[in-house]
Amino acid sequence: MEIREKICTGLKLIKEKSPLIHHITNYVTVNDCANIVLAIGGSPVMADDSAEVTEMVGFASALVLNIGTLNTRTIESMLIAGLKAKELGVPVILDPVGVGATKLRTDTADKLIRELKPEVIRGNMSEIKVLAGLEAAIKGVDSLADEHGSSVVAKKLAIELGSIIAITGKTDVVSDGSQVCLIDNGHRILGDVTGTGCMTTSLVGTFCGATKDYYTAAVAGIISMGLAGEIAHASLRHGEGIGTFRARLFDSIYNLTPEILAKEGKLNYE
């Protein structure tokens, strides 16, 4: 089956199954993550107490871990939930927000990767470079790295970690260590709204919850956000900006059909 067809099937499966996506995530964009999962057809649940994450992950089809606002309590919960997910065969999707900016973030990402071997890791180039042990200019949690060599980095790191690596930027790159897919959807304005990275990870998680083909899931999640960004931006009129754009972004994901998703994806793959 060609990848466009697989992406199409992926979205159909989400709409059919409404997979439950358990998140342990940051409090900045948590509401956006819940709404984006609902918009695409999944079912979000946020639970982060160590006393309940094991049970909750037992109902889940995927586990999204996002280190945007870490603390000692939630780090422990991420590990407990992640280990249970691995035991149950529930895919773990990691968003290493701001890794490299602080020791806490770097140590936590390293630990989560080592102990959980996430099925998918999605970050910007700065974050992925840190995970790959390369130098990268980190300024808070924003990416300043250029896109050059993204596919080399993604492929290399995917082999090294045994995880699918998804790097989002001007051109997005996904690799499982053998395949590489470049995606050219999206719009610059997505960077002007908080949480578009986190939401992309949640969309990847939702696709992972509907299909065992996590490589396709990562590609599909990224295209979904990129395409929704294009549609939302194209709808803006004079005087409108990121407030209206945000609302339309959810609208666009909500109205995305499997056919449009597969057809409008700007993919290049090896």
d(CA 185, CA 264): 8
d(CA 114, CA 117): 6
Alpha carbon 13 to its chain centroid, in Å, reads 18
d(CA 83, CA 92): 9
Q: Which of 195, 209, 226, 265 binds a second copy (CB under 8 A)?
A: 195
Query: Least CB distance from residue 160 to a second copy, whole Å?
Result: 26
Binding string, 105-134, against a second copy, x = CB under 8 A? x-----------------------------
> Is residue 263 near a second copy by the rule CB under 8 A?
no
Closest CA to 196 of 25, 36, 24: 36
Helix (H/G/I), strand (E/B), else coil: 66: strand
Q: Which of 49, 160, 259, 270 binds a second copy (CB under 8 A)?
A: 49
Among the listed ranges 44-52, 122-130, 168-176, 208-216, the one in contact with a second copy (CB under 8 A) is: 44-52
46 is an annotated ligand-binding site residue? yes
Q: Which of 27, 88, 178, 268 binds a second copy (CB under 8 A)?
A: 27
| Token code pair at residue 139 | 């300024």
d(CA 127, CA 258): 30
Interface with a second copy by CB under 8 A: which residues? 20, 22, 26-32, 34-35, 38-39, 43-49, 51-52, 55-56, 59-60, 68-73, 98, 101-105, 138-142, 192-195, 235, 239-244, 246-255
